[in-house]
Structure 1
């Protein structure tokens, strides 16, 4: 993998820049359009869950922040990046069918370029979020390096899944339709628009459902829950995350990345034939 990346570094750079520049080519606002989707979702979810349903997450501890919008964006922005990388990975492999059939190059470069272009956009979104939090008086500068590391881990995790989904989508085009349903379910199965404490309360009221297994035990099998909690610990609460949880996220992200790479590498030489 590393030799492929080193040998195709120029191609990776060109494909990444093509994704970054081409996405908003000939638009008046250009890169500012990348903020339109997060802002629109922020407005809708804040109205529905903060005003209508009145979801009230606990104030940041010890930051003291008590704004639903900021609490929401600390998990929503990583989710948009995460889901965007995976869906984009499926689209970029199938969408570059002609290129794959005409020229030989490491096919994984397409997926990596998709991740880098999405990460470029995600970095700007997170920078704006950090600036807003700082302006509101929460000094989170000491936690920024770990935020950056968590963003890289999320990128590795998403890329690993993106490599798996992109290969599956080449062989079975139903995967792209299945993924749309999966991410809708996954979104609401993650504590993005509601606090995880609500699930914990319901789990306690129901008690064990199978042996000693509770709803909360099954709920926390969702890997994105841990990413959301780490980002909120660092940005909203202004405190260090649980290091055991962070270590689990780091190990899992790296493992999924290399598993995805191995699966993709096993099939990438046959993509031209299948496509």
Structure 2
């Protein structure tokens, strides 16, 4: 399957661009809407938590007091991408059922199309977060380039999940609703809007619960974005967590692609 993906990279790039444009076809502002909604979401959270609830600055594990809007943005930007890819990727075979029914079309590239399509907005919001970072007076750091590594890690995890979810969704349409519920719970199980490191440091989270929460692979990603942008900590300083994440991502990818290939011959008949 990896060979098929590499062989069809031009097709994937073309379909990803078309997919991105098609989401907002017919609207007056077009693709601008793809960037408006996440910006509004960040502003709402910032007003509620920082202004209304007086969240102020957030202490990080590196001992840095970061402005809440910067701390929030560094954590929520990867979650925007992850949730978008899982929601759209789960129903990709239903959405492109006319391509699935074509005998000669390589349908195993369709989940990749959704993953690549969502990268356009994700790249914009990484730059948006860095702009906020510089506006608050923080200088340049080479650790910022680690965002690329964590983006690739998140992409690898997401692709494995959507291969599995999209294959099952063909036969079990409620899978899309289950994924949405999973994302609703996951956003609060991931330290995006609450300070995991601060709560663990002052004893509000017991060690056993902290270890369980660290099993969430998106903890590794959101913490990694904050390490790159705010804390200036290298991913190599957390070898155990890094090894765990990649082992999990590879298992999920192997499982997802295996299930997809096993069920692939039946997709056209069911759709």
**Structure 2 length as normaliser, TM-score?**
0.88
Q: Aligned partners of 2:33 and 2:107: how far apart in 1?
A: 29
Q: Aligned partners of 2:204 and 2:60: how far apart in 1?
A: 22
What is the CA-CA distance between 1:181 and the residue it aligns to? Answer: 1.4
What is residue 204 of structure 2 aligned with on the other side?
202
Q: Aligned partners of 1:136 and 1:52: how far apart in 2?
A: 21
Q: Aligned partners of 1:60 and 1:133: how far apart in 2?
A: 15
Please give the per-residue CA displacement for 1:75-129, whole angstroms capped at 9, x wherever unaligned: 1110010011111111221111122113432222111011011112211211221
1:79 aligns with 2:73: no
Q: Aligned partners of 1:43 and 1:36: how far apart in 2?
A: 11
What is the CA-CA distance between 1:19 and the residue it aligns to? Answer: 1.0
Q: Aligned partners of 1:142 and 1:192: how far apart in 2?
A: 24
What is residue 97 of structure 2 aligned with on the other side?
97
Give the counterpart of 1:231 among 225, 228, 237: 225
What is residue 183 of structure 1 aligned with on the other side?
183
What is residue 257 of structure 1 aligned with on the other side?
253
Q: Aligned partners of 1:55 and 1:249: how far apart in 2?
A: 31
Please give the per-residue CA displacement for 1:186-235, whole angstroms capped at 9, x wherever unaligned: 1111111111146533333xx8xxxxxx3223222211111111111111
Give the counterpart of 2:238 among 240, 243, 246: 243
What is residue 155 of structure 1 aligned with on the other side?
155
* Conserved 8 A contact 2:145-2:228: no
Please give the per-residue CA displacement for 1:208-267, whole angstroms capped at 9, x wherever unaligned: xxxxxx322322221111111111111122332433133433343233223322221221
What is residue 14 of structure 1 aligned with on the other side?
14
**Structure 1 length as normaliser, TM-score?**
0.87
Q: What's the secondary structure of 1:25's corresponding residue?
A: coil
Q: What's the secondary structure of 2:73's corresponding residue?
A: helix
What is residue 270 of structure 2 aligned with on the other side?
274
Q: Aligned partners of 1:203 and 1:193: how far apart in 2?
A: 15
Q: Aligned partners of 2:124 and 2:178: how far apart in 1?
A: 30
* Count of residues in Structure 1 that have an aligned counterpart in Structure 2: 267
What is residue 36 of structure 1 aligned with on the other side?
36
Give the RMSD, CA atoms, in angstroms. 2.3
* Conserved 8 A contact 1:77-1:122: yes
1:221 aligns with 2:215: yes
Moved more, 48-57 or 118-127: 48-57
What is the CA-CA distance between 1:268 and the residue it aligns to? Answer: 1.5
In structure 2, list runs of 5 or more residues that go unmatched.
none
In structure 1, list runs of 5 or more residues that go unmatched.
208-213
